[in-house]
Structures are given as structure tokens and as C-alpha cells.
């Protein structure tokens, strides 16, 4: 087993005397991008690539407002309807 590990390390091209560094090697780029990582893990690519969402993320509004608009469009706001849909008991505050 030690020999196998040694072989894997040799094949990895490790070089002594060179400092280690973090490298992002996904998608052919070496610079990490939150946007790229987000799109990589986003399952619903149609919503992520929508022109509405592209404009929303680029607008110069306060981030909390942008997030609230996004949550509204994604139907993620903690509304009474969403609570009931998720089987969360909501008291009537009328």
C-alpha cells in the first residue's frame, strides 16, 4: 500500500522546493469565481441563465433588496402560503 501511495505521488508531478498553492482547475480556468462555482452547483440552469436574473444580479440596488427580489421570484420568501406548503404551523395574527 505504501508503494502504491508513493507511485501516485510520483505520478502527480510533485516537485521539491516549490511552494504549494491552491489552483481552481474546473472549466479550464485557474481563477476561482463564486459565480462560476454557483452555476456549477446550480441544478436549475434555466433559472440561473434567465435574462431577468442576470439583470437582477448586475443591478446597483442594495444587496438585501436584490436578495429579497430574488427570493420572491424563486418563491422562497417565508410567507404564510410557503409555510403551509412546508407543513409549518402558522398562527392567525388577524
pTM, two decimal places: 0.41
Classify the C-alpha dihedral 9-14-19-21 as positive or negative. Answer: negative
- Rounded to whole angstroms, what are the CA distances from 1 to 7, 12, 55, 78? 10, 17, 54, 53
The Cα–Cα gap between 42 and 78 comes to: 21
The C-alpha R_g of the chain, in whole angstroms, comes to: 23
Closest Cα to residue 69, out of 56, 50, 51? 56
pLDDT of the chain, 94 residues: tens digit per residue: 888 888 887 787 767 888 887 777 777 777 787 887 787 777 555 554 578 888 888 889 999 998 988 888 888 877 777 777 878 777 765 5
Amino acid at each position: 500500500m505504501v508503494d502504491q501511495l508513493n507511485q501516485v505521488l510520483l505520478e502527480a508531478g510533485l516537485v521539491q522546493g516549490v511552494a504549494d498553492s491552491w489552483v481552481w482547475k474546473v472549466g479550464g480556468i485557474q481563477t476561482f469565481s463564486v459565480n462560476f462555482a454557483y452555476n456549477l452547483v446550480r441544478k436549475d440552469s434555466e433559472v440561473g441563465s434567465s435574462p431577468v436574473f442576470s439583470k437582477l444580479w448586475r443591478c446597483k440596488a442594495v444587496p438585501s433588496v436584490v436578495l429579497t427580489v430574488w427570493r420572491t421570484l424563486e418563491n422562497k420568501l417565508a410567507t404564510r402560503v410557503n409555510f403551509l406548503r412546508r407543513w409549518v404551523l402558522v398562527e392567525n395574527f388577524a
